Chains A and B, each alone.
Chain A
């Protein structure tokens, strides 16, 4: 067992679905077997070796040397190990992952980390719509783990999220945390319209008061001990909440009987 590195032979001409190819699967399979592994490619399927040069890599690591926006489902379902993409990825990256680390140095398409239940995703670029959300027809989005987006997130990030932590270094698009059930989202940049609509519980940490739906009630500014605890217990929030003791707390979406909160720190 060792690591695997994939390097595209040429630019992809159709979408490739890499969703069963987790680090655990790749590392447990011989390079020769991997070359013959059939992967969905456009409307057909082709052996992996036809699309990529397959080589060894450090133990437990699956490396995709040149990313492509047509690579879908990268790291989907992974439960451990490390998957590194040098470049961008398509939709459904890290979908339903339950453990391990997925690092992407470029942008990601829609549904990044959708319904993930553990592990950690670190995206250096921007994410498409529905980051950490629920897939179409699904009742629950991300339930645990950390989804860290250094850039901005598209529409409806954290939709129906029910746990875990989403960190957005840039701006968040419209409909952030729509129907959020629980969990935490921290946004360093601006927040689009209709954030928190239908929110049941959960926390949105923001720097400035966004334009919120009518169902949010302003409870005023409070000294919250929980902020000091979060700053120390959650390393990912340490910088955001350093020396923060007070927050303006808006509760909603009260029109839906929700008790979620937007904390302006």
Chain B
């Protein structure tokens, strides 16, 4: 399959079940809401090292938030519900509570409850105020700046983590440009985040290592500087590879983001130096979710920017 001169390889992305939740963080200004969002989702690129994967889902206009102030919607994913219950209050307490003017609200209604103020209300040392109205409880914590308002808890969803695709391009600059186009387009898809820096991973990994202590290591088959020295997946003209990793609240959300992202990369096309689209998998035996690139792209081919 070739779209606008870009080869879509006949492979699939292999993804795993994750448990996720959504937080709505608001602040007096869009800048402070974004600051809170960035800090709260910082150091959350991969569960392997960070305990969770998190990102800003989208920016919210004042009329779309519970308190009528500018806000951001954050998604946080962990491998199991127990870990999620641990990481969310930690991030809430260290990153949202501390950030000037913020308030934090539940962004998911259903599912198992993830504690928010239920845990961090004790920071107020007995001065915390609870209000339960219209079936929802929220807390007010007196702080030096004024008051921190926070919902009691939020719901959770069974999501999908580790959806991905690889952009194979002629040069580093061209690979990055194509990746940036994909990230920008995927930002419009609801229910997903791209947890890596700026949405892009430059150091995709394979499972295992020659060193016993490591269970993941550099994906040498896609390292351009190792072509010829190791069994390589890269044709001679590829000079750089970027990966985009997607976590989402459902299989459909991740599939849609994959489609939108690849479409944006293909719109850059061969003129922009893109050679092929590939995906990371472990042979299909580890993760229950398979995102077959060609199936996804043929389903949405009608709306593709440049179909060759």
Contacts and interface: CB of A to CB of B under 8 A. Distances in A.
Interface stretch (A88-96, A168-176, A225-233): A225-233
Contacts of A222: 146-147
Shortest 8 CB-CB contacts between residues of A and residues of B? A228-B67, A229-B67, A225-B149, A234-B133, A225-B103, A226-B149, A228-B68, A234-B134
B67 A163 contact: no
B22 interface: no
Contact residue range for chain A? 20 to 34
Interface of B: 26, 66-69, 103, 105, 127, 129-134, 136, 138, 140, 146-147, 149
Given A224-B147, A225-B103, A233 B136 contact: yes
25 contacts: A165-B133, A182-B130, A184-B131, A184-B133, A222-B146, A224-B146, A225-B26, A225-B67, A225-B69, A225-B146, A225-B147, A225-B149, A226-B131, A228-B69, A230-B131, A230-B133, A232-B66, A233-B66, A233-B133, A233-B134, A233-B136, A234-B133, A235-B134, A259-B127, A259-B129
Nearest to B105: A229
Contacts of B127: 259
Contact of B149 (A182, A229, A234, A237): A229
Contacts of B140: 224, 226
Contact of A223 (B66, B103, B146): B146
Contact of A229 (B130, B138, B146): B138
Given A222-B146, A222-B147, A201 B136 contact: no
Q: Chain A at the B interface: mostly helix, strand, loop or mixed? A: mixed
B66 A226 contact: no
Interface of A: 144, 163, 165, 182, 184, 201, 203, 222-226, 228-235, 237, 259, 261
A170 B120 CA distance: 39
Given A222-B146, A223-B146, A229 B132 contact: no
A229 B129 CA distance: 14
Q: Chain B at the A interface: mostly helix, strand, loop or mixed? A: strand
Contacts of A234: 133-134
A15 to B, nearest CB: 35
Most chain A CB atoms below 10 A, which of B68, B131, B134, B136? B131
Contacts of B132: 144, 163
Contacts of B67: 225, 228-229, 232
B66 A203 contact: no
A203 B103 CA distance: 20
A62 to B, nearest CB: 25
Given A201-B129, A222-B147, A224-B147, A229 B134 contact: no
Contacts of A163: 132
